[in-house]
Structure 1
């Protein structure tokens, strides 16, 4: 079956209209009805077919009965091999859509109602059926809307005197304007607007149902007079229904009940009044009154407001020491006029201490097998100010990939362990007086102090990592989030730099190849004629080449210079003291929203404070770099922009787009960017046709084991569509690369030299399979190298577009 809709002699393709039809054609994938074909492939009655087959093959039946049993032979009819496959195909497939006259008539009515609600009161709808192929019908719906009705006069009648006065203060904000086209959705939106305005300004018991419209279209000139009526409150007493005018209520008292104590139980042993807030507790009060006051936006002597109730609920939940709070209002019996409310807020504390153990089995490009475990403790309300202390210990033992192994007879040759401590305050600290003047408490401010230590003993390059962060974060207007690292400290100490070439074998192999064609000093070679690592033969050979003491050609010298620079970067100790600010904006309404965009930008600066300290001690290293604690500190400026856009195409079809750009520029005490702050390309959340660290820089061909640079561009597009139930497919295209820019790398194949370097952008395309568990998604992506800038001219496009060079990516949730 096929559908076509023509509105006023123009073909209508918008999903809003086409989805109104009760009968939709079978779904298709790029024009092919895959699910219908899967359904048709399934046998109609596999059980009966199996029994009929047994009846025709009695010898086979007797043989199977002797081999198994009569009961087991019967069960084969319900097994996956006989009927299971057919059932699976039916579940994943889609039954053919059969034409139904009654549904067609209902579609006509629905189309007429749709255009009526848009002001076309004289809409005419008809349909024609045409048998375009055997057993296939095409339905053509013809819609003649006629002329739309517009608003002529708009009259408002408010029965309640107090509501009438309140309405007049906000009448200009009305969505309904004279001369505008009639629209039922806009009329309902105006009802919502009025209801929200009233309930945020004291009308506690007002509901949307008290607003109704009367429309007059008797003028016969396609105009409509609208009468908006706001009725009085209805009160049912027994069998009698009476009305009375609405009142505007003020808050006379604000009560908070803690420790699972509610207003009804009255089991109160401690209470305190603080800035018009009455706090009651069962047992000694465990919270500082100021903290509760700052989290409550319902104030005494102010009008009842839904918004204030919502913000209060969010604010109390944001403290993360209470379960979702209960906020209720009751009439104040002390008010003889009946226009006062008492706000009762009930808080149910979470457990003071939480223990979180976890264990995982992991796999990465470094380790073939790993067991990772962690133990975490969370201490809530540490200093009675809703502070949260997180303490965690983590460790990992694993077996490295064979190419990294230095001791072949040891299975577990990777050991990692560390600890992290984080203290979070639900407010600004240290500079609170100054910051509070700029950022108010409705932005849900947080301050966090964290310290971490991590020790790695893996693949021969052992490291110790010390981190410390002092962070402010807040949000305003709900969709805007700002995170500001006042200080972000990282100290990386390399414990075994002499083992570099045992780990980065591709660098060593390339170096060794050059040594075989160069007048290499024999003292640098082992008994097999290869560069000696243990006696620093590889390092001495590089020194000779770069000093001009060999007959190496220009290309080999450039390659060795690149290897030497990367070795220095990956084995040097790093001291980074940075500050950064991250701004994020998203117009996503909820997690199920599939039509939104997210914008994120980051600016980071490192080394300025350390530079001031270093000038006072005047200590430099052999490279004439200023040092602190005998370590050359890093100086750089880094900027990033990340944009994600989701476009809802309907019928569970989504187009997801992403664009990312980032660059880190060294200056002062640095000639390059520390490895931990650089960029890499490839991997499950980047360009999925390349493995992590295996793309770039530029068109160099990833000659190193771990390729990184200080500039990155990435562009991703993914078309996602549903196949059946939780099963989804995706077609994707990932483009991007990394380059060196404005640092000490001079190799033209690795550096970004201008717009002409954009031809080094790699393109990967592929297919993804997803299974949606509702709360998370498991995905499997197959990436093909469609355009590889590292290949020779003429071999860049589609030369690696085959299954043998496919990259498999397995991940949790969507890549962006």
Structure 2
């Protein structure tokens, strides 16, 4: 296969070479294809993307130096109408033949489809970028502006169009920039007409963006204008606007220094037919009126219900008031008696929207007619309630490593304002049916839909931190605090062990800023019960096969009652008895060597852990910092930290109550050996926008879960796995690791994980994008019951068992989601013998093909 891969690669490289020779086939006459831009600043070539972005013309986008979209564009015929006319309309014989075969109407559709396809090629491709001298001169002006705005007032820029000596109809443009000496800020004075504005400026001038000694930058001036505008509008100056601020920069006879004057004029005010300038005032909020059930249709109707709170809020309703006053006023940060503030208004919008009880709120400010000084403002807040009840449904079709076909469905009912305090109650149900890839997993050979899951959840959300203590001092209401209490139950027959889950969560969340969010699960309780543990070796066939290989190795003597007629261990009794004999050194099983004994013990330990019932009584906290502003933000940073502890409370209760211990010396509650561990996760994601739809994405993840006290292992539901479309794409999910063990189990997991991913994304044409990637990582067992050296992490030397995958992929952007296809190759496989791990089986036959929705990170 390696030879075939080399031939395929050589073919594509030759094809690209031939195509590249014809890149200028649509470049006519004396025109030149722009191949490159070069910018020299003071005779030194620069590579700063932000400066190259000032140019009006950029070369055609390319990948590995090949302008793929240009080549695709060149496939289109520039004179398609005349070609079709000559080939089909003017050729009567061909025309009549096609009409007889297709009919005249179909013949016209055929011609139209050819035109449409030709236009699609043009739209999807990229027309050749022709060197345009006018555009080049505009680029010179823009470069001058960029350097001037960054303090080089004596900048001079020129250009040269350089034709290629080796290739015809190609040219590059070289820009020569001579900056001269930069200018620096010197004195900063003010000319402020309003005493109110002047006093506010003096009070906060130490926070100024522009300071003496800084190099002049227009962006700093603009940022200072924004700072002052925000300062004044958040200090009560309701009608202040940026247009009242200007800056005068004096450079005459200053020796390359800039003397700056901040000028703030009085505002314009109109009265009857005259306009004059009047000083600014500090405005206070005299009244806050809240209309709780406003609709445009009832704008002229009489209000029938109202209430005034101790804080001075007045709530009105056209019908009977359906909300407790504090439920609304707690979400309003515009307070009677306070000065006007933009921040208070925006926080009010955000908090009211987060309640999910009202539609888009509307906040209006008007002068208080009772105030003769016209300094007081009345805030009117108009709220339109959402429907009391909302229904939701979902449906999906899926495929996985245990089912060849599956159908999922679900529904939810949302009840708003349950207790008149803006609480929301949600009832949801879900279910799925599927057909397993192996009928032995489910034990149902005759039914097509032989695996299933059904579950239900209840969730009650409060718009406050629900604790017996007042948390407003350290979690104020502008942080949008919520408390959620949820319970859920599910039963499933989809991995052969037939699990039943019962969960309960008491969760708090709050957001100190748009970038930062906090989540605290004070209680996170999960009970997992395995209903069909006798089916274990039907599910984990690899473990079963390993046992049979040992039994049939020739030197093993075991009890014949453990075997069926074919000499295989009987499931479950024979396999379990064989493991017990080896582990306890009892019974009639003899002849195993040390490696075989270790393997049987490992299989037994794993079986006990995966079939035991779990009781997890945990507390966890998650810190999330995310600078991504919206779905279209291409450059951002995301950092997540999570810590979880489990079993400490139950351990303390068991010790105090002197509960009995089981044969392993651990406490049982309700017949279950409860879990006790500490688990941490660190997840860092960074995206860089490289321009021209090129994105460099990086992710680093590290996690470890250490059992202690009442447990010597981590529950399966809390362990880590590696591989899959969102992890190391050269391995399927659960196939990688632990360590160098080679993924011999169907579901490989461990309690420590490292993962690093790097991906370069670029546009091919239209909505079709591509990417090349490298995925690095693995899982290991550490400080738990597993003793296999290949699977455990004992020192930094075990980092040699980190797996490396690489590959490429395609992504098609449907705007609301991205369909992703990735091909991963095992670049470094730690399961292979040392010295034979790099680039073995690096071919398409051994590649892993992943299909996913949206980007992996």
Residue of structure 2 equivalent to 1:407: 444
Choose the corresponding residue for 1:316, options 332, 336, 352.
352
Correspondence 1:603 to 2:638 = no
Residue of structure 2 equivalent to 1:338: 374
Q: Secondary structure at the match of 1:67?
A: helix
Residue of structure 2 equivalent to 1:91: 123
Residue of structure 1 equivalent to 2:54: 20
| Correspondence 1:182-221 to 2 at 5 A | 182-219=216-253, 221=255
Structure 1 residue 632 displacement after superposition:
0.9
Correspondence 1:423 to 2:464 = no
| Correspondence 1:35-74 to 2 at 5 A | 35-46=69-80, 48-54=82-88, 63-74=97-108
Contact 1:92 1:723 in 2 (8 A): no
Instruction: Compare 69-78 and 473-482 and name the one that shifted more.
Output: 69-78
Contact 1:398 1:412 in 2 (8 A): yes
Distance (Å, rounded) in 2 between the aligned partners of 1:130 and 1:636: 68
Structure 1 residue 715 displacement after superposition:
0.6
Distance (Å, rounded) in 2 between the aligned partners of 1:261 and 1:605: 49
Choose the corresponding residue for 2:623, options 583, 588, 593.
583
Structure 1 residue 97 displacement after superposition:
0.8
Structure 1 residue 584 displacement after superposition:
1.3
Structure 1 residue 50 displacement after superposition:
4.5
Structure 1 residue 773 displacement after superposition:
2.7
Correspondence 1:269 to 2:301 = no
Residue of structure 2 equivalent to 1:167: 201
RMSD over aligned CA atoms reads 2.0
Instruction: Compare 152-161 and 264-273 and name the one that shifted more.
Output: 264-273
Contact 2:183 2:258 in 1 (8 A): yes
Contact 2:442 2:493 in 1 (8 A): no
Residue of structure 2 equivalent to 1:468: 504
Structure 1 residue 737 displacement after superposition:
0.6
Choose the corresponding residue for 1:134, options 168, 171, 175.
168
Contact 1:295 1:315 in 2 (8 A): yes
Correspondence 1:107 to 2:145 = no
Distance 1:55 1:422, change over 3 A: closer
Structure 1 residue 61 displacement after superposition:
5.3
Contact 1:658 1:716 in 2 (8 A): yes
Distance 1:592 1:61, change over 3 A: closer
Correspondence 1:680 to 2:717 = no
Correspondence 1:659 to 2:678 = no
Distance (Å, rounded) in 2 between the aligned partners of 1:489 and 1:192: 49
Residue of structure 1 equivalent to 2:19: none
Distance (Å, rounded) in 2 between the aligned partners of 1:84 and 1:625: 74
Residue of structure 2 equivalent to 1:717: 758
| Correspondence 1:207-246 to 2 at 5 A | 207-219=241-253, 221-236=255-270, 240-246=274-280
| Correspondence 1:539-618 to 2 at 5 A | 539-548=576-585, 549-615=589-655, 616=657, 618=659
Choose the corresponding residue for 1:4, options 22, 38, 55.
38
Distance (Å, rounded) in 1 between the aligned partners of 2:671 and 2:406: 35
Distance 1:33 1:315, change over 3 A: same
Q: Secondary structure at the match of 2:714?
A: coil
Contact 1:778 1:811 in 2 (8 A): yes
Structure 1 residue 730 displacement after superposition:
1.4
Residue of structure 1 equivalent to 2:543: 507
Distance (Å, rounded) in 2 between the aligned partners of 1:659 and 1:676: 22
Instruction: Compare 646-655 and 414-423 and name the one that shifted more.
Output: 646-655
Aligned residues: 812
Instruction: Compare 291-300 and 660-669 and name the one that shifted more.
Output: 291-300
Correspondence 1:626 to 2:661 = no
Contact 2:125 2:766 in 1 (8 A): no
Distance (Å, rounded) in 1 between the aligned partners of 2:89 and 2:287: 84
Distance (Å, rounded) in 1 between the aligned partners of 2:387 and 2:262: 52
Contact 2:703 2:753 in 1 (8 A): yes
Residue of structure 1 equivalent to 2:569: 531
Distance 1:87 1:767, change over 3 A: farther
Residue of structure 2 equivalent to 1:446: 482
Contact 2:368 2:377 in 1 (8 A): yes
Tell me the alpha carbon deviations over residues 570-593 of structure 1, each in whole angstroms, 9 at most, x when there is no partner: 111111101111111223334333
Contact 1:316 1:325 in 2 (8 A): yes
Q: Secondary structure at the match of 2:474?
A: coil
Distance 1:564 1:51, change over 3 A: farther
Structure 1 residue 38 displacement after superposition:
1.5
Tell me the alpha carbon deviations over residues 698-731 of structure 1, each in whole angstroms, 9 at most, x when there is no partner: 1111111111111111111111122233222111
Contact 1:699 1:760 in 2 (8 A): yes
Distance (Å, rounded) in 2 between the aligned partners of 1:787 and 1:741: 22
Distance 1:47 1:365, change over 3 A: farther
Distance (Å, rounded) in 2 between the aligned partners of 1:798 and 1:755: 23
Give unmatched runs, 5+ long, in structure 1. none
Tell me the alpha carbon deviations over residues 363-404 of structure 1, each in whole angstroms, 9 at most, x when there is no partner: 121111111111211111110111111111111111111363
Distance (Å, rounded) in 2 between the aligned partners of 1:240 and 1:293: 41
Contact 1:588 1:596 in 2 (8 A): yes
Tell me the alpha carbon deviations over residues 1-23 of structure 1, each in whole angstroms, 9 at most, x when there is no partner: 12111111111221111121111
Distance 1:514 1:265, change over 3 A: same
Residue of structure 1 equivalent to 2:736: 695
Distance (Å, rounded) in 2 between the aligned partners of 1:640 and 1:243: 60
Contact 1:47 1:78 in 2 (8 A): no
Contact 1:261 1:282 in 2 (8 A): no
Distance 1:224 1:410, change over 3 A: same
Distance (Å, rounded) in 1 between the aligned partners of 2:444 and 2:262: 84
Contact 2:527 2:615 in 1 (8 A): yes
Structure 1 residue 227 displacement after superposition:
2.1
Residue of structure 1 equivalent to 2:828: 787
Distance (Å, rounded) in 2 between the aligned partners of 1:33 and 1:707: 43
Contact 1:606 1:635 in 2 (8 A): yes
Distance (Å, rounded) in 2 between the aligned partners of 1:538 and 1:86: 66
Residue of structure 2 equivalent to 1:766: 807
Give unmatched runs, 5+ long, in structure 2. 1-33
Residue of structure 2 equivalent to 1:383: 419
Q: Secondary structure at the match of 2:340?
A: coil
Contact 2:728 2:775 in 1 (8 A): yes
Structure 1 residue 75 displacement after superposition:
3.2
Contact 1:261 1:267 in 2 (8 A): no
Contact 2:402 2:438 in 1 (8 A): no
Q: Secondary structure at the match of 2:366?
A: strand
Residue of structure 2 equivalent to 1:122: 154
Q: Secondary structure at the match of 1:799?
A: coil
Distance (Å, rounded) in 1 between the aligned partners of 2:206 and 2:453: 65
Structure 1 residue 47 displacement after superposition:
5.1
Contact 1:22 1:107 in 2 (8 A): yes
Structure 1 residue 782 displacement after superposition:
1.5
Choose the corresponding residue for 1:290, options 300, 303, 326.
326
Q: Secondary structure at the match of 2:632?
A: coil
Choose the corresponding residue for 2:492, options 438, 456, 467.
456
Distance (Å, rounded) in 1 between the aligned partners of 2:273 and 2:251: 37
Q: Secondary structure at the match of 1:798?
A: coil
Distance (Å, rounded) in 1 between the aligned partners of 2:496 and 2:196: 79
Contact 1:634 1:669 in 2 (8 A): yes
Distance (Å, rounded) in 2 between the aligned partners of 1:741 and 1:135: 64
Tell me the alpha carbon deviations over residues 80-101 of structure 1, each in whole angstroms, 9 at most, x when there is no partner: xx55654443232211111112
Contact 2:362 2:381 in 1 (8 A): yes
Structure 1 residue 463 displacement after superposition:
1.1
Correspondence 1:726 to 2:767 = yes
Distance (Å, rounded) in 2 between the aligned partners of 1:240 and 1:804: 83
